[in-house]
Amino acid sequence: MPSTVLWLFGAVVYGVGMGFLPPGRQPSASDWWFGGACIVFAASCAGVLAWRLWAVSCEILDQVRRDIRG
């Protein structure tokens, strides 16, 4: 999975989180830490999802190979 997708997903999650800030409030250091945590969380979720999809696709390909061989 391209890292650009991970960064975009993290940025969307961060943007949604920043949308809960009261109007006129400037982001503080804790808000930036929250944003970083959102990006790390999004990247780890995407990594786990990619790993599972890879594992499932390998299982499917192995089954297809076995079926072809008879």
Q: What is the per-residue pLDDT across 41-66, written as a single tens digit (0 to 9) for each?
A: 877 888 888 888 899 999 999 999 99
26 Cα distance to chain centroid: 27
Give the torsion sign (CA, 59, 64, 69, 70).
Answer: positive
Find the radius of gyration of the CA atoms of the chain: 19
Q: Is 40 a residue whose pLDDT tops 60?
A: yes
Query: How many folded domains does the chain comprise?
Result: 1
Per-residue confidence (pLDDT) for residue 2, from 0 to 100: 64
State the pLDDT confidence band at 21, using cuts at 50, 70 and 90.
low
Report the C-alpha gap between 67 and 25 in whole angstroms.
61
Q: Is 10 a residue whose pLDDT tops 80?
A: no
In the chain the first and final C-alpha atoms are separated, in Å, by 34
Question: What is the extent of the structural domain holding 41?
Answer: 3-69
Average pLDDT over residues 17-43: 74
